[in-house]
Amino acid sequence: MTTSPEGVEIYLFGMKLRFILIAVCFLLSLPGQADEGMWMLGNLNKQTRRTMKELGLQMPVNKLYNTKRPSLKDAVVSFGGFCSGVVVSGDGLVFTNHHCGFSSIQQHSSVEHDYLKDGFVAHNLSEELPNPELYVRFLLRQEDVTRRVLGAVKPDMDEAGRTSAVDSVMLVIGEEVSRKDSTLVGIVDAYYGGNEFWLSVYRDYNDVRLVFAPPSSVGKFGWDTDNWEWPRHTGDFSVFRIYADKHNRPADYSPDNVPYRPEYVAPISLDGYREGSFCMTLGYPGSTERYLSSFGIEEMMTTTNQAQIDVRGVKQAIWKREMDSRDSIRIKYASKYDESSNYWKNSIGVNRTIKKLHVLDKKRAMETELRRWIQQTPEEREHLLHLFSDLELNYKSRRDAYRARAYFAESFLNGPELVQLALSILNFDFEGEEKTVVANLKAIVEKYANLDLGIDKEVFTALLKEYRSQVDSTYLPELYQTIATEYGGNERTYVDSLYARSELTTPRGLKRFLEQDTTYQIYNDPAINLGIDLITKLFEMNMQVQQASGEIERNERLFNSAVRRMYASRNFYPDANSTMRLSFGTVCGYAPFDGAEYDYYTTAKGILEKVRAHAGDVDFEVQPELLSLLSSGDFGRYADEKGEMNVCFISNNDITGGNSGSAMFNAKGELLGLAFDGNWEAMSSDILYEPKMQRTIGVDVRYILFMIEKYGKAGNLIQELKLANP
């Protein structure tokens, strides 16, 4: 290859510019800088505001959060309480992730109408599909109520007494909101390990209908293979619509409801982004443990995480085999497999990354500094002299029982669906609020409808063996003695007998329960008896760890507070707790390992390449008509300046579970895309932010619009949107 002197000069300039951008991205990734942190909109301090402006924020900060006039926060919703979403039209359209809408799409699917495989398009309002279990939540305001909550705490209280007093006041404050306005929900949440408390006031809308879903070959492209991985080529989006009554107030589903008229509509950018572009994410991240001690991290790795890895791996292998063999099973099990496998792979990645990035070493180094500071500070030494020894002792004290409980929860409580049905029935309250009773009944019926008894028996048998292999015999529930004495130690024989004798496995039995048939002696049912046996064993385990757990909660709170005092000059953000948070940073690539460098975006070319490279792999199967559309190169106004179709992009914004569906905005507050994943190399980020590695993966809004208009032929939806630069 030959190059002219001018070409060499241009090439060198380009390389220099790229180096500068990478360097900028790295410098902005130092601990405590802009990219790290999930900030409370109602408590943005001057330092955070200044940093945002320095990074490139162009809109006024008071347009992000304002309680007196419409602001950007009014376009962002909690979607179903487990994801996030963004309002994009004056008629209540909401963009969220495909995997966030997956359960709803699955519920409307059948072999005849396979919306998971083929996608779904509502061509008018009458075709939009209701989802009674779904709601969206708007944040109205946040208020610091720490003084009032902690005012109930007395110096002589033990941890149980403190918890009870705090919980009571939190509940009272929340109820006060609803008493003043029945359309509002007030929730008080703990921050900084229970050292601060804030009230969030919400308004919920319970009529949410499915409008558009791409086929899973778009919305789940790559499936488990690509999950948590970059480069990514997944069009992870779906479209819903919020409905309200004729006065725009919240209302349960009714044919008379009309599209919701939002306070604020997020404008959509077609200009895209560049490397180094300002990017902010607004959503409802679930939980992080950034302030957890090293003792707590070790426990997490060996208990919850390892139990999920071991037990779900066994269960999912059975599910996947059957899903791949029959379409009817694929539809029935798609949503629960998706939910289970997501956190299974997450746990694998977390444990792997903690070791690879030496997270425990970094945490222990910080704790060494904290120990030294406590020793050198008289007022701290007086109260915290035994902090670390107490933490170590109590974590050690509950270790075995806590680990067994984690495996117990995965093997039984979250394992065989017959057990889950039995426990749901045991805990059912027919005397509750009518709305709650109806919803709970529906949940039981839906669980039953998506149950295959043959598969469930195989899962139950496998999990019985897995649990016994992982725990000491002292943690085995009574059913293992029954298997040994009455069934010759044969788990499958026991399971077959249980399912044959239980009426919960039959439509008749379920009907008798639902109709409260008094001739049905439910406590004589063997599945119900098994449920009681399991609850009894769980209670024993809980009692074994109760005292140590109370001490751990207290000392982790003291640990959290001490860290903030030692580093008083730092700008601390609270751990995620499913409340609205803002993260911000820049669009940029990263180097995952020596000799490799990942770009900051992917294109439709990558989809075609992966389809060819993974021929025969169901994770990468794409319909011929979609391949033809992507191969044409005719992307219209949705193409970038090179004429390419950008699919996904990454930024160094902070992210965790619950952020799925979060809006990713540019410096002007215009929608760039939807966050849907983190990256494999930084899976330990819930515990310790890794500045060089952590990235938020988002689907490009231009790809979303292209799929809606060109593949779904739903130009009417495009007409609803507020395009910033049409």
Q: Which residues are catalytic?
A: 99, 236, 660
Angle separating helix axes 526-566 and 399-408, nearest 10 degrees? 130
Written as one string, the DSSP assignment of 559-614 is: HHHHHHHHTTTS---PPP-SS-EEEEEEB--B--STT--B-SEEEHHHHHHHHHHT
CB atoms within 10 A of CB 139: 21
C-beta separation of 673 from 649 below 8 A:
yes
C-beta separation of 622 from 217 below 8 A:
yes
Q: What is the DSSP letter of 268?
A: B
C-beta separation of 59 from 668 below 8 A:
yes
Alpha-carbon Rg for the chain, nearest whole angstrom, is 26
- The alpha helices in 620-713, defined as continuous H runs, are 624-632, 701-706
Q: How far is residue 502's CA from residue 442's CA, in Å, rounded to a whole number?
A: 21
In sequence order, the 6+-apart residues with CB closer than 8 A to the CB of 425 are 444, 504, 513, 522, 528, 531
> Is-cis flag, bond preceding 70, omega within 30?
no
Written as one string, the DSSP assignment of 602-627 is: EEHHHHHHHHHHTTT-GGG---HHHH
- Which amino acid is it at 214? P
In sequence order, the 6+-apart residues with CB closer than 8 A to the CB of 312 are 340, 341, 343, 344, 410
Judging by beta carbons within 10 Å of its beta carbon (0-12, 13-18, 19+), is residue 208 exposed, middle or buried? buried
Q: How far is residue 717's CA from residue 704's CA, in Å, rounded to a whole number?
A: 12
Q: How far is residue 324's CA from residue 606's CA, in Å, rounded to a whole number?
A: 25
C-beta separation of 84 from 658 below 8 A:
yes
Q: How far is residue 640's CA from residue 37's CA, in Å, rounded to a whole number?
A: 30
Angle separating helix axes 526-566 and 479-486, nearest 10 degrees? 140
Tokens of 273: 């982004």
C-alpha to C-alpha distances, 650 to 585, 667, 699, nearest whole angstrom: 11, 16, 9
Left, alpha or beta for 194 (phi > 0: left; psi -120 to 50: alpha)?
left
C-beta separation of 689 from 575 below 8 A:
no
- Which amino acid is it at 283? G
C-alpha to C-alpha distances, 311 to 307, 341, 418, 452, 683, nearest whole angstrom: 6, 11, 17, 19, 20
- The alpha helices in 377-490, defined as continuous H runs, are 378-384, 387-397, 399-408, 417-426, 434-449, 453-470, 479-486
Q: How far is residue 502's CA from residue 335's CA, in Å, rounded to a whole number?
A: 26
Q: How far is residue 601's CA from residue 596's CA, in Å, rounded to a whole number?
A: 15
In sequence order, the 6+-apart residues with CB closer than 8 A to the CB of 375 are 381
Tokens of 17: 């510019």
Q: How far is residue 57's CA from residue 51's CA, in Å, rounded to a whole number?
A: 9
